[in-house]
Amino acid sequence: MLHKINFQEIITLAKQAGFQTLKFYNQTSNFSLKADHSPVTDADIASHNIIIKGLKKMTPDIPILSEESPELDIKNRIDWKIFWLVDPLDGTKEFINRKSEYTINIALIQNNKPVWGVVYAPALDVCYWGGLGVSKKQNSDSPPYIIKISNKKKKQRYRVVGSKSHHSKDFSNFVSRLIEPEIVQMGSSLKLCLVADGTADIYPRYGLTSEWDTAAAHAIVNGSGGEVVEIDSYTQLKYNKLDSMLNPFFIVGAKNILEDIKKYL
């Protein structure tokens, strides 16, 4: 089925949804709180509608789950072997506060793994996409280029990605055990993308995330040569295996760096 998907069309669709969110970005955007107390804005809904309509037209045989999908879809998705997993606006709090690091995330999940994804940051006009053995990045209208994860052996000073809004106690404790770490701050799913493109070495996530937050960037990390593993078990992070959409805590990096990091956990 994968060979029938025009992934370039999916990239274009993510950008179309992103352009729509920019219409709300510089004006007062109405928002409300969902049952889990997370905010949802007019831009979230507009992006969701564009992506759902586009994916249904391009790949009518593949089901879709979005963060803004009805609860029934979230319950039914546990039986799906392949599906699109969408966060129409990742980083809603950043968006509301007029921060530029929010993203549009579209991932293809097959057999509990993210096999391909696109992450588009509309306000930055930066796009990442990949999986299936290769990942790429494009800055604005410049030509796209292949990205590779940082893979230096015996690296003494790790560049560690952290949240721009807060650092948890667990994160602070982890960083305190490293040798002169450099903290690289970023918001939304771009945190994983910074590891994928080699800007940072590792991203330890001690905090709640949902599967739609990470899946697209996870695929991009895999395509760049990296891995996303659960912190407790050091097994590959999987999708669509539990009733809950919440991820366990995880860490992102190249395999050899993750092996080195074990001694700090």
Within a domain: 63: yes
Within a domain: 22: yes
pLDDT value at residue 142: 95
pLDDT value at residue 73: 80
State whether 189 and 238 are in the same domain: yes
pLDDT value at residue 35: 55
Which residues are CB-neighbours of 17 under 8 A, at least 6 positions away? Answer: 46, 47, 50, 51, 54, 88, 104, 120
State whether 132 and 221 are in the same domain: no
Q: At 181, list the tokens.
A: 């770490």
State whether 139 and 176 are in the same domain: no
Q: 154: left (phi > 0), else alpha (psi -120 to 50), else beta?
A: left
State whether the Cα torsion 130-134-135-137 is positive or negative. Answer: negative
State whether 63 and 131 are in the same domain: yes
pLDDT value at residue 214: 98
State whether 124 and 198 are in the same domain: no
Within a domain: 154: no
State whether 46 and 134 are in the same domain: yes
Q: At 85, list the tokens.
A: 């997993």
Within a domain: 153: no
Within a domain: 151: no
Within a domain: 55: yes
What's the CA gap between 129 and 163, in Å, rounded?
22
State whether 142 and 168 are in the same domain: no
Q: What is the largest CA-CA distance in the chain?
A: 51
Q: What's the CATH number where 242 sits?
A: 3.40.190.80
State whether the Cα torsion 80-81-82-84 is positive or negative. Answer: positive
Which residues are CB-neighbours of 230 under 8 A, at least 6 positions away? Answer: 236, 237, 248, 249, 250
Which residues are CB-neighbours of 41 under 8 A, at least 6 positions away? Answer: 24, 29, 30, 31, 89, 92, 95, 96
Question: Among the three residues 115, 146, 177, which one is the final residue of a domain in this structure?
Answer: 146
Question: Among the three residues 146, 172, 202, which one is the final residue of a domain in this structure?
Answer: 146
Q: What's the CATH number where 75 sits?
A: 3.30.540.10
Question: In this structure, are residues 84 and 64 in contact, taking their beta carbons and an 8 Å threshold?
Answer: yes
State whether 216 and 178 are in the same domain: yes
State whether 96 and 18 are in the same domain: yes
Question: Among the three residues 146, 167, 202, which one is the final residue of a domain in this structure?
Answer: 146
State whether 121 and 72 are in the same domain: yes
Within a domain: 19: yes
pTM: predicted TM-score of the whole model, two decimal places:
0.94
Q: What is the DSSP letter of 237?
A: P
What's the CA gap between 87 and 65, in Å, rounded?
9
State whether 9 and 119 are in the same domain: yes
List strands edge to edge, sheet with 126-131.
64-66, 82-90, 103-110, 113-121, 126-131, 134-139, 145-146
What string of pLDDT tens digits covers the 265 residues of the chain? 677 899 999 999 999 999 999 998 877 556 655 555 576 788 999 999 999 999 999 999 999 999 998 887 888 899 999 999 999 999 888 888 888 999 999 999 999 999 999 999 999 999 999 998 999 999 998 999 999 999 876 566 899 998 766 678 999 999 999 988 999 999 899 999 999 999 999 999 999 999 999 999 999 999 999 999 999 999 999 999 998 999 999 999 999 999 999 888 8
State whether 133 and 186 are in the same domain: no
The total number of structural domains in the chain stands at 2
Question: In this structure, are residues 196 and 217 in contact, taking their beta carbons and an 8 Å threshold?
Answer: yes
Within a domain: 260: yes
What's the CA gap between 53 and 17, in Å, rounded?
11
Whole domain around residue 253: which residue ranges? 159-264
